[in-house]
Structure 1
Amino acid sequence: MSFSKLSSVIVRRKCLPAITVAGVNFGNRKTFGTSNTLCTKLAQEKKPDWNRAVSEAEKIVGYPTSFLSLRWLLSDEIANVALHLRKLVGSNHPLLKTAKSLLYNGKNNMQAWGLIVLLISKAAGHSADIPELEQDKAAGVLHSQRALAEVTEMIRTSHLVHKGLVNLQAPLADASGDMMFGNKIALLSGDYLLSNSCAELANLRNQELVELMSSAVRDLAEAEFVGPRDKQNNPLPARPRSDIVEYKQFTDKTLEPLVVSEALGNARAEWTLRHVLNAGSLLGKSCQGTLKLAGHPLELQEQGYLFGKHLALAWQACLDREPFLPNVSGSFSLVSAPVMFTLQHDPTLYEEIEKGQESVDDVDYEVVRKAVLTGPGLEFTKKLQKEHSTAALEVLNQLPASDARTALANIIAAMQDL
């Protein structure tokens, strides 16, 4: 779905002298390319369309990254999986929908995560003591950074595939062998990608990076156990609380687990918690890890984490608003920001949500949609998206001007307004 128009975004082309960010003097950092001058490419015309913003960004890092794990997908093992997937055609197994969404080149999935990691890598540059053999000068990143970007996408993809598993309870268990077969394919495919990502990560021989990315995998797993769920593990929002207190758990201590119980029932805190665990942690820690590989100090690495986390949350807020656009119908996530903010505003709506304890299909989505459209939920979500977009841009704007920085700014601009 295309985005509505925004006012023109014009960035003046200018060259910057030495810049200090979080204690790092970028004037002495080593950059790739034939020129020592860093100039921001003119970002002009209208607000970038999503596909165009991603396409232009891919050119900057040298090749399409919407599926960095393609070489794994072309292996004999995955080729056999693809053949078996044909047996599921015509069934209702969610793995088919997952496969379609992964291959669809649109903004409604986040297969551009590897691209984000490579762009922040190129925008920040690397320390001067990185060996020449480690540098991919054509793309402007390190070989280890490219490997980490691939690891990020493989972890994300394996998580999405694993989420396609069906809880085979009656009558599903007796209906067809297709569901059991689909579960086997989803489990093995997800395990294959995850195991390859672990092997690739180990090959980088960086213990701190392994620990960092392992904590991101832990967060992805924990996200599947936050709050109430129906029998198919579809998430439901927690009952709204009246005694809302500020939730201060989202700190820069990126290896520490988040405290779940304190956030449940608080719309903003619960939504943030769910999506930091489910998305923000992986992207944030990947951005942090790529700056670690480049030899940047801890202060800048933490800024990279904040950039990735805020970008993921802004992205999710953008997606959460789409089901409530004019002329859009059908089901939607009951833990999306508009729904949760509406529940906070009108707790009586939770009676409708409770109907989904057995299955979310028992919820009358049109009743919930009407409540969202007439309540403040959409406006609060728009403010939430703006807040995280601004926070990501604040980190980004501290980096020296470059084509990579402009490309990231264009990606953020492409999801500003629906």
Structure 2
Amino acid sequence: MTSVTTLFAPVEADLSVLTENLKKLVGARHPILYAAAEHLFGAGGKRVRPAIVLLISRATMLDQDITPRHRRLAEITEMIHTASLVHDDVVDESEIRRGVATVHSRFGNRIAVLAGDFLFAQSSWYLANLDNLEVVKLLSEVIMDMAEGEIQQGLNRFDTSLSIEAYLEKSYYKTASLIANSAKAAGCLSDVSPEVADNLYCYGRHLGLAFQIVDDIFDFTGSTEALGKPAGSDLKSGNLTAPVLFALEEKPYLEVLIEREFTQDGDLEEAIALIMEGKGIERSRELASHHAQLAVQQLASLPTSECHQALIDMAEYVLSRLY
């Protein structure tokens, strides 16, 4: 199984600079926000999203070094992702994230909402300063998509009629849009052709969907320690993901438990048992694998390089988290 460390080896030095820069970008003008940011950026995240931006930057700038704008794009990508996590944790009332206390559980909801807003605002400001209209449009769309995904998720709580298509659309908005649009933006900064830029977008889209489906499987198969949050927490809050939607097709009683929102003792445990018994997990794995394969196909237009190979291996890594 490929580890993240091996996978990111071609951009390891770039990622070290990125972590230091993120703390500087937030600035020390607001001590409480700086404390929140330091807490966030120090919290053992894998830095998958900026690593993808940096790998694409290097894979598309083979004979030259990447530019300061490529680096700044990677930083903006991580800021947007982190801002969305801060807000998600407030909405979901999560006490822990990546094994550490969430911003709102440590500093309170008011500071958490402001910290998320501040990071979104900072990322928008740095984005505008890239002076590239195409990239500004791509990343601005991400911020809209994330809000759309969160709204869709909120409106569809405990809705057993939700289709797999609607689930994938919501997963695109919440997770894949950032990876897809930042992948394309990295290509734009390298002046790739429109066709290659579209391929990079599709790579990010399919990789992001595979990533989200795997995360949703993990909600049932992972330990609290590995997840950084209690297992089954998505289901408990009424967020119906691929394993649940597939299980509903073969376990009718699951619908009863979900529609009464697990109000009776043992409901949640019974629902999890029904999902684990059926083919929901297996079918979700197949769906994740399908999207990972589609992602790899999009990379055919890039020249062979160490970073190109790392992008291919990234799809394998996303799936390997399941085993």
- Tell me if both proteins adopt one fold, taking TM over 0.5 as the criterion: yes
Provide the C-alpha distance between the structure 2 equivalents of 1:345 and 1:190, rounded to a whole number of angstroms. Answer: 40
Provide the C-alpha distance between the structure 2 equivalents of 1:153 and 1:222, rounded to a whole number of angstroms. Answer: 19
Work out whether residues 160 and 258 of structure 2, in 8 Å CA contact, stay in contact via their aligned partners in 1.
no
Q: Which residue of 1 aligns with 2:60?
A: 124
1:190-269 counterparts in 2 under 5 A? 190-227=116-153, 229=155, 236-240=157-161, 265-266=162-163, 268-269=164-165
Q: Which residue of 2 aligns with 1:325?
A: 221
> Do structure 1's residue 114 and structure 2's residue 17 form an aligned pair?
no
1:281-292 counterparts in 2 under 5 A? 281-292=177-188
Provide the C-alpha distance between the structure 2 equivalents of 1:373 and 1:167, rounded to a whole number of angstroms. Answer: 24
Determine which structure has more spread, i.e. the larger CA radius of gyration: 1
Per-residue displacement from partner, 1:91-141 (whole Å, max 9, x unpaired)? xxxxxxx9978644356xxx3201101101211227x9xxxxxxxx5xx31
Provide the C-alpha distance between the structure 2 equivalents of 1:222 and 1:53, rounded to a whole number of angstroms. Answer: 32
1:389-400 counterparts in 2 under 5 A? 389-400=292-303
Q: 1:384 to 1:150 in 2, by over 3 A?
A: same
Q: Which residue of 2 aligns with 1:50?
A: 4
Provide the C-alpha distance between the structure 2 equivalents of 1:112 and 1:78, rounded to a whole number of angstroms. Answer: 28
Determine which of 215, 223, 248 is the counterpart of 1:343: 248
Work out whether residues 79 and 123 of structure 2, in 8 Å CA contact, stay in contact via their aligned partners in 1.
yes
Work out whether residues 67 and 153 of structure 1, in 8 Å CA contact, stay in contact via their aligned partners in 2.
no
Determine which of 7, 12, 15 is the counterpart of 1:59: 12
Paired residues, what number?
A: 302
1:402-413 counterparts in 2 under 5 A? 402-413=305-316
Residue 82 of structure 1 deviates from its aligned partner by: 5.6
What is the SS of the residue equivalent to 2:115? helix
Identity of paired residues, percent? 28
Structure 2, unaligned runs of 5 or more: 94-103, 225-229
| Matched letter for residue 311 of structure 1 | L
Work out whether residues 355 and 362 of structure 1, in 8 Å CA contact, stay in contact via their aligned partners in 2.
no
Q: 1:209 to 1:383 in 2, by over 3 A?
A: same
Residue 61 of structure 1 deviates from its aligned partner by: 4.4
Per-residue displacement from partner, 1:136-167 (whole Å, max 9, x unpaired)? x5xx3122111111111111111111223359
> Do structure 1's residue 309 and structure 2's residue 205 form an aligned pair?
yes
Q: 1:388 to 1:278 in 2, by over 3 A?
A: same
| Matched letter for residue 117 of structure 2 | D
Work out whether residues 237 and 340 of structure 1, in 8 Å CA contact, stay in contact via their aligned partners in 2.
no
Provide the C-alpha distance between the structure 1 equivalents of 2:303 and 2:158, rounded to a whole number of angstroms. Answer: 41
> Do structure 1's residue 156 and structure 2's residue 81 form an aligned pair?
yes
Provide the C-alpha distance between the structure 1 equivalents of 2:114 and 2:265, rounded to a whole number of angstroms. Answer: 31
Work out whether residues 203 and 299 of structure 2, in 8 Å CA contact, stay in contact via their aligned partners in 1.
yes
Provide the C-alpha distance between the structure 1 equivalents of 2:39 and 2:251, rounded to a whole number of angstroms. Answer: 36
Residue 58 of structure 1 deviates from its aligned partner by: 3.0
Q: 1:67 to 1:275 in 2, by over 3 A?
A: farther
Residue 363 of structure 1 deviates from its aligned partner by: 8.1
Work out whether residues 66 and 105 of structure 1, in 8 Å CA contact, stay in contact via their aligned partners in 2.
no
Per-residue displacement from partner, 1:204-235 (whole Å, max 9, x unpaired)? 11222212211111110111111555xxxxx6
| Matched letter for residue 308 of structure 2 | R
Q: 1:120 to 1:179 in 2, by over 3 A?
A: closer
Residue 350 of structure 1 deviates from its aligned partner by: 1.9
| Matched letter for residue 84 of structure 2 | H
| Matched letter for residue 89 of structure 2 | G
Provide the C-alpha distance between the structure 2 equivalents of 1:58 and 1:362, rounded to a whole number of angstroms. Answer: 49
Provide the C-alpha distance between the structure 1 equivalents of 2:150 and 2:266, rounded to a whole number of angstroms. Answer: 21
Provide the C-alpha distance between the structure 1 equivalents of 2:116 and 2:307, rounded to a whole number of angstroms. Answer: 31
What is the SS of the residue equivalent to 1:308? helix
Structure 1, unaligned runs of 5 or more: 1-46, 86-97, 129-136, 169-177, 230-234, 241-264
Residue 313 of structure 1 deviates from its aligned partner by: 1.1
Provide the C-alpha distance between the structure 1 equivalents of 2:208 and 2:149, rounded to a whole number of angstroms. Answer: 15
| Matched letter for residue 292 of structure 1 | C
